[in-house]
Structure 1
Amino acid sequence: MTREEAESVLTEAGQADDGAFPLLDAAIACAIHDYPFRNPEPVRTLASNAAERLAERVGSESPDDALAETMAADMRLNGDLLSYDHPGNTDVIDVAERRRGLSATLAIFYIDAARRVGVRAQGVDFPGHFLLRVETTEGPVALDPFSQGRLVLPSELTRRALRAGLTPHVADRLDVLMAPVSDRQALVRLQNVLFSRALRAEDYEGAERSALRRALLDPEDHRPWLDVAAAREKQGALAGALEALARARSVDDPAEAHRRISVDRVRLQLN
């Protein structure tokens, strides 16, 4: 798959309803968009094997135990503690081969397997760390894909929230802390991680690609186009920055004045 073909997949995914969002295919397209012409079969094989094994477990175990045992024990997926900033930790193709990654990347495999066998699992955009919400007969529970799918107790959620800077009256509200996000939002969060890392490394081409993927995945949000424009401006591609700002302006929202200021700033550099 070429980078252009990956963009076509992401464009189609962006137009899909949340209920029909192709999480695994879109995640593969994101990975290939960064580094084209790679073989995605390890991802599909891992996903297929995980779903098959999970289907065998759910009949005799609770959904959360079955999911954690399948993904962490059977599939050997775990967080990369030794090289947390390794670039492969955000790439589903690399993660499928190394069986190590960030929580947000590992969660893609958890969610895909759960979807295939009817286990209700969604991502949770927890402050500073992506978690999973799994529905059980006793209510929702939180799992941490980075820590072998370990169950995160409510008291620990509150402690983590307080450490992340949330106020006490918010940190005590489990309905807020465990609010699920859509599959689209889960994948967009991963692209946000890539964008932040690329900016810190002054890799503005990488930042542009990750911002563009966010724009394609969520076409109703103007903010990714602002990030595309900023990354292009850093590269000196001012005409491309203006094009991205025009795309941002075409998305109707209250930030129109801010976008116009950005356009004027770039135009001044062209004159």
Structure 2
Amino acid sequence: MTREEAEAILTSAGDGGDEGFPLLEAAIACAIHDHPFRDPQPVRTLARSACERLKERVGGESPDEALSETMAADLRLNGDLLHYDHPANTDLIEVAERRRGLSAALAVFYLHAARAAGLKAAGVDFPGHFLVRVETAEGPVALDPFSQGRLVLPSELTRRALRAGLTPHVADRLDLLMAPVSDRQALIRLQNLLFSRAIRSHDYEAAERSALRRALLDPQDHRPWLDVAAAREKQGALTGSLEALSRARGLDGVEEARRSTTFERVRMRLN
């Protein structure tokens, strides 16, 4: 798959609705868009095994236990504590091969398998750490893909929220802490992480690619195009930066004045 083919898949996914969003294929396209011409078969093989094994477990165990045991015990998916910042931990193809990664990448396999097995699950965009919400007969529970799918108790959610800087009156609200996000937003969370890491390492080409993927996945959001523009400006690609700013203009009137100011600043540099 080429980078252009990956962009076409992401564009199609972005144009569609949240219902039936092709999480796995879009996630594969994101990985190949970053590093083209690789074989995505390890991802599909792992995802297929997860679906088959989870379907066998469902019915004999609670939904959360079936999901965590399938992913962590049967398939050995876990977080990479020793090499947390390694780029392989955010690349879906390498995560499938190594069975190690960050929670936002591991969650792709959790959510895909849960859908296939008929479980009600969704990502939780928790501060600093992506979680998976699973609906059970006793109510929703949170699993941590990074910690072998371990159940995260409400008291621990509150402690984590406080450590992340949330105010106490928010940290006590489980309805806020466990608010589900769409599969689209789950994948965008992973791209946000890649963008932040690229910016910190001054890899502005990688930052541009991750921001572009966010723009394709959510074409109604102007913010990714601002990040594309900023990354291109850092590379000295001022014409491309202006093109991205033009895409951002008009998508959201509240930010129009700020985008116009940025547009004029870049245009003046070009002239």
Into which bin does the TM-score normalised by the smaller protein fall?
over 0.9
Amino acid at match of 2:147: S
Match of 1:257 in 2: 257
Listed as ranges, the matches of 1:121-270 within 5 Å are: 121-270=121-270
2:102 equivalent to 1:102? yes
Deviating runs (4+, > 4 A) in structure 1? none
Distance 1:61 1:39 in 2: 35
Match of 1:49 in 2: 49
Distance 2:181 2:253 in 1: 22
User: Shift of the alpha carbon at 1:253?
Assistant: 3.1
DSSP-derived class of the 1:11 partner: helix
Match of 1:22 in 2: 22
Amino acid at match of 1:3: R
User: Shift of the alpha carbon at 1:263?
Assistant: 0.3
Match of 2:7 in 1: 7
Distance 1:251 1:178 in 2: 29
- TM-score, with structure 2 as normaliser: 0.99
DSSP-derived class of the 1:18 partner: coil
Query: Are 2:208 and 2:228, in contact at CA under 8 Å, matched by a contact in 1?
Result: yes
Match of 1:33 in 2: 33
Match of 2:91 in 1: 91
Distance 1:193 1:162 in 2: 21
DSSP-derived class of the 2:254 partner: coil
Distance 1:48 1:163 in 2: 37
Query: Are 2:2 and 2:36, in contact at CA under 8 Å, matched by a contact in 1?
Result: yes
Amino acid at match of 1:242: L
Amino acid at match of 1:205: E
User: Shift of the alpha carbon at 1:251?
Assistant: 1.3
Distance 1:66 1:252 in 2: 43
User: Shift of the alpha carbon at 1:270?
Assistant: 1.1
* Structural RMSD (CA): 0.6
Structure 1 unaligned blocks of 5 or more = none
User: Shift of the alpha carbon at 1:252?
Assistant: 3.2
Q: Deviations over 1:89-139 (max 9, x none)?
A: 111100000000000000000000000010111000001100010000000
Distance 2:23 2:103 in 1: 15
DSSP-derived class of the 2:251 partner: coil
Amino acid at match of 2:133: R
Distance 2:259 2:83 in 1: 38
Q: Deviations over 1:19-39 (max 9, x none)?
A: 121000000000000000000
Query: Are 2:64 and 2:143, in contact at CA under 8 Å, matched by a contact in 1?
Result: yes
DSSP-derived class of the 2:52 partner: helix
Distance 1:137 1:47 in 2: 26
User: Shift of the alpha carbon at 1:56?
Assistant: 0.5
Count of aligned pairs between the two proteins: 271
Distance 2:119 2:270 in 1: 54
- TM-score, with structure 1 as normaliser: 0.99
Distance 1:116 1:20 in 2: 12
Query: Are 2:92 and 2:105, in contact at CA under 8 Å, matched by a contact in 1?
Result: yes
